[in-house]
Structure 1
Amino acid sequence: MFLQSDSRLGMRAAAFAFGMALSAGALAGDADAPGLALSGFGTLGFVHSTEREADYTNSSMKASGAGFTRSWSPEVDSRLGAQADVQLGPRWSGVVQVVSEQRLDRRYRPRIEWANIQFQVTPELALRAGRIALPAFLAADYRKVGYAYTWVRPPVEVYGSLPLPSSDGVDLTWRYPLGETRNTTQAFFGRTDMGLTPTTHVKVRRLSGFSQTAERGPLTARLSALTADLTLDIGRDLFDAFGAFGIAGDALAGRYEVDHKRATITSLGLAWDPGRWFIMGEAGHTHTESFLGTTTSMYATGGLRRGALTPYASVARVRADTPTSDPGLPVAGLAAPRLSTAVNLNVGLNALLQTIPSQTSVSLGVRWDACRGVALKAQLDRVTPRDGSRGTLINTQPGFVPGRPLQVASLALDFVF
């Protein structure tokens, strides 16, 4: 199943409908008998932004979005995915999930999101190896499956802090009760190599972390933390050029380049879902000693379920805890052409620092469960980049003005089969 484990994560009605839609493809008979179940999911979305000097998107891993590139964009949310669940016996099982969506190289080449084998050591303890979803944030297990949540997309202010949702490695999951509370403890270790474009790569080494999920009645809580050694090619030529300016240039390059820098992400999420209504919220903190910066983020969402309709409202904020600008190289006394080079390097550095997100958004939306396995959604967002940052926007142009609010309208058709 796409919606793994036994967690509702604040979306009990959506998760139940989603699970029912997938169960149609499950094999009949003994769940421990060898067999194969195939299923799929997708989103057809269109997004409009009033900002013409930048693109609104749901991830920094996208090449384009709505606004500058095109007024109405299908690239922001549209995707198609397929999943195969294999039962190999009483204790062995496996899963492969493949997703096609726009990438940084503008291609839609399918990517393997999950590919792992699980061994059920005991009824409570399971060991997995392969490509595994990182259990950060409430919607970690199904963030690519739009049908499984109420919003058009998870709040970008929080979920954008983890653009790589999986790793290659192992994890250990222990499920156990404490009184009336169902607990799930997960520890994981892994690494990731990904080519973002033909010339840009990201390497994640010594990735480790844990998550703790507790469920009691309508309450779900999840605490998670991860840490990793991060290397990213973006800005490498810029930081190499700083080396020509001696100690000052080396200090700037050492401070901001992403070369074996330790990155940490912690998050806490709470959801209360008695059925006819729900409230949920999450807070996260991301820290790196690089131009990626340090941020604190949060959101809160509430909604009502009235038959097939679910209206909802959200507020979200991501705050830059490190400066989004730097004086850079001292230029006093420099002669041409070194003066011109230093000025250009400082401009390039500050363009990178502006990518540290600082932004607020207010959202109103409605979900309509049109029929089994199909949901239509509409969402309006008022987004305001702050503190000299471009927020979560991409492809900013010379005319972009930080602090200027933009309006975003989104339509999405989510489905599972």
Structure 2
Amino acid sequence: MFSPSTAITLPAACAGAALLLLAVPACAETTDPTWKFSGFGTVGAVHSDERQADFVASIMKGSGAGRTDDWSRHVDTRLGGQVDYTYDAKWSAVLQVVTEQRLDYSYEPRVEWANIKYQVTPELALRIGRIALPMFIAADYRKVGYAYPWIRTPMEVYGVLPLGSSDGADISWRWNGESMRSTTQVLYGRTNTPLYDGARLRGRGIAGLSHTVEQGDFSARASVITTRLSLSLFPELFDALDSFGAQGRDIARRLRVQDKRASALSIGLNYDPGQWFVMGEAGRSKVDGYLGSTRSAYLSGGWRHANLTPYAGFARVWGQLPPGPTSLTLAGLPRPYAAAGSVVNTGLAAMMRAVPSQSTLSAGLRWDLASNLALKLQHERVTTRSGSRGMFINSVPDYQSGHTAHVTSAALDFVF
């Protein structure tokens, strides 16, 4: 029976493993290297009655359900595969590739994991390569829908920062007491992710610390991540701001996400005795730019009866705008400049509406059809707040916050 605390062992993603695995030292002593291929996927469909914007499972998608389409298959659908290679008791490697809709609307596969591991001692391990950031309980298996009870992880917590992996190295230390198992992980790296039309997401000096404890049916994780973030979106808007003298340049300097400090911290608790579960997480993020800062949390629980698991949850994110003015002062400007400034202010207002504030009340049912196949149905009431469009995308220019969207989803999750 599925348990979130054990789901981290479930597999993931795809091909080309040979390029990575060539780096495993040939001098290691072994006679029986082993290969393992496994995979996962989700086939989903989502309906939203919101007509002002699109509901999505990640802000890193191009379209969703609502404004673009009444029903969308792009919200949750994905396919992944994973190759695990074990050379000996000390050396191993993993490659995971996932295909799902991206910001450019394509399904171009992306390497999620690609790292080599050296087990120094039974307690100490070193890895180098692309590594999942250890934020939140489901960080290591958030792409594997089969591994958690819901159709998708709560966006209010999991979707506030667009970072998911780091290219670098980490150290993990496992230490056990009489009844408690603990793991401390320290990482350092960077990321450079293409978005669309030349836009990129860059993070340099990504540093993180995570600590996980497990005792019986209880587990918990606390994490903190910091980086220097660059996000090359809205170049025309910032160029226009620069042309409005000192006040425009000041607004652009404060809001442009160019080598700005970004940080996030989280804590999560999970209790799962088998027949039922309850779990919750809370987090805080801050970016010195137009992404602003957030506080977020969710609480969810469910009951397992045979192969059925009804569940319910509540999630909330509170967004805070970046400090200082976020619009141009147009009084006294000549009419042509005031008209151009009004257009710029409209763009700035849309940017500020993207700082998320929303709440979600959800209920659903998981039906385990087989040991590797689960059908899920889920209904959500998503309410945007405080002038924000929440976690929705593709909003209309005159988006009105405060609406409640009714979102109905179905998904078939599988692993193999």
Normalised-by-shorter TM-score class: over 0.9
Indicate the residue corresponding to 1:263 in structure 2: 262
Note closer, same or farther for the CA distance 1:406–1:307 as it changes in structure 2 (3 Å cut): same
The alpha-carbon deviation at position 11 of structure 1 amounts to 1.8
Separation of aligned partners in 2, 1:138 and 1:301 = 13
Aligned mates of 1:104, 1:359 — CA distance in 2: 22
Mapping of residues 386-405 of structure 1, within 5 Å? 386-398=385-397, 400-405=399-404
Cα distance, 1:398 vs structure 2: 3.5
Tell me which of 11, 24, 41 is aligned to 2:4: 11
Give the stretch that moved more between structures: 323-332 or 123-132.
323-332
User: 1:365/1:310 Cα in 2 relative to 1: closer, same or farther (>3 Å)?
Assistant: same
Query: Is the partner of 1:403 in helix, strand or coil?
Result: coil
> Structure 1 residue 193: deviation in Å?
0.4
Aligned partner of 1:345 in structure 2 is 344
Tell me which amino acid in the other structure corresponds to 1:48.
Answer: H
Greater alpha carbon shift after TM alignment, 213-222 vs 173-182:
173-182
1:254 deviation in Å? 1.1
Greater Cα offset, 248-257 or 219-228: 248-257
Correspondence 1:224-239 to 2 at 5 A: 224-239=223-238
Note the alpha carbon deviations across 1:227-252, whole angstroms, 9 max, x for none.
00001111222112212222211110
1:267-320 Cα offsets, whole Å, 9 max, x none, are 000001111111000000000111100000000001001110111000000001
Shift of 1:323: 6.1
Q: CA deviation at 1:327?
A: 5.3
How far residue 343 of structure 1 moved from its aligned partner, in angstroms, is 1.1
Q: d(CA) in 2 for partners of 1:32 and 1:180?
A: 36
Question: Relative to 1, partners in 2 of residues 1:86 and 1:67: Cα closer, same or farther, differing over 3 Å?
Answer: same
Partner of 1:159: 158
**Contact 2:360 / 2:380 at 8 angstroms: preserved in 1?**
yes
Structure 2 partner of 1:206: 205
Offset of residue 128 of structure 1:
0.2
Q: Does 1:218 align with 2:217?
A: yes
What's the CA shift for 1:328? 1.1
- Pair 1:242-2:241 in alignment: yes
1:300 maps to 299
| 2:103 paired residue number | 104
Q: Is the 8 A contact 2:326 2:348 kept in 1?
A: no
CA shift for structure 1 position 341? 1.4
- Give the letter aligned to residue 35 of structure 2: L
CA RMSD of aligned residues (A): 1.9
- Map residues 49-68 of structure 1 onto 2, 5 A cutoff: 49-68=48-67
Are positions 1:140 and 2:139 aligned together? yes
CA distance 1:69–1:324, change in 2 (3 Å): farther
Deviation at 1:202, TM superposition (A): 1.1
Q: Which amino acid aligns with 2:44?
A: G
2:276 corresponds to = 277
Tell me if structure 1 keeps the 8 A contact 2:276–2:304.
yes
Counting only pairs closer than 5 Å after superposition, residues 162-177 of structure 1 correspond to structure 2 as: 162-177=161-176
Report the CA distance shift for 1:324/1:385 in structure 2 as closer, same or farther (over 3 A): farther
CA distance in 2, matches of 1:263, 1:308: 42
> Which residue number corresponds to residue 128 of structure 1?
127
- What does residue 181 of structure 1 align with? 180
* 327 and 212 in structure 1: CA distance in 2 versus 1, 3 angstrom threshold: closer
Give deviations 1:325-375, integer Å, cap 9, x for gaps: 955111111002111111111111111111000000100001010012000
- Structure 1 residue identity aligned to 2:52: E
Question: Percentage identity across aligned positions?
Answer: 50
Report the CA distance between 1:158 and its aligned residue.
0.6
Whole-Å separation in 1 of the counterparts to 2:399 and 2:264: 30
Match of 2:374 in 1: 375
Deviation at residue 9 of structure 1 after TM alignment: 11
| Native 8 Å contact 1:359 1:386 kept in 2 | yes
The Cα shift of 1:321 comes to: 2.4
Within 2, Cα distance between the matches of 1:341 and 1:411?
45
CA distance in 1, matches of 2:36, 2:322: 50
Question: Which stretch has the larger CA shift, 357-366 or 171-180?
Answer: 171-180
Q: Contact 1:9–1:138 (CA<8 Å) still a contact in 2?
A: no
Classify 1:166/1:14 alpha carbon distance in 2 versus 1 (closer, same or farther; 3 Å).
closer
CA distance in 2, matches of 1:15, 1:205: 27
AA aligned to 2:218 is L
TM-score, normalization: structure 2?
A: 0.92
* In structure 2, C-alpha distance between the alignment counterparts of 1:193 and 1:14, rounded to whole Å: 29
Structure 1 match to 2:32: 33
Distance 2:59 2:126 in 1: 32
Q: Which runs of 5+ in 2 are unaligned?
A: 12-29
1:157 is matched by which residue type in structure 2?
E
- So what's the TM-score if we normalise by structure 1? 0.92
1:75 deviates by 0.2
Q: Work out the CA distance in 2 between the residues paired with 1:358 and 1:192.
A: 27
Contact 1:169–1:188 under 8 Å retained in 2: yes
The one-letter code of the counterpart of 1:264 is S
- 3-state SS in 2 of match to 1:197: coil
Unaligned runs of at least 5 residues, structure 1: 1-7, 20-30
Q: How many residues align?
A: 398
Q: Is the 8 A contact 1:9 1:271 kept in 2?
A: no
Q: CA deviation at 1:46?
A: 0.2
The answer to whether the 8 A contact 2:251-2:325 is kept is no
**Superposition pairs for residues 69-108 of structure 1, below 5 Å?**
69-108=68-107
**By how many angstroms is 1:199 displaced?**
2.2
Measure how far apart 1:150 and its partner are: 0.3
Q: 2: distance between equivalents of 1:32 and 1:123?
A: 20
Equivalent pair of 2:151/2:376 in contact (CA under 8 Å): yes
2:2 & 2:156 partners in 1: Cα distance? Answer: 19
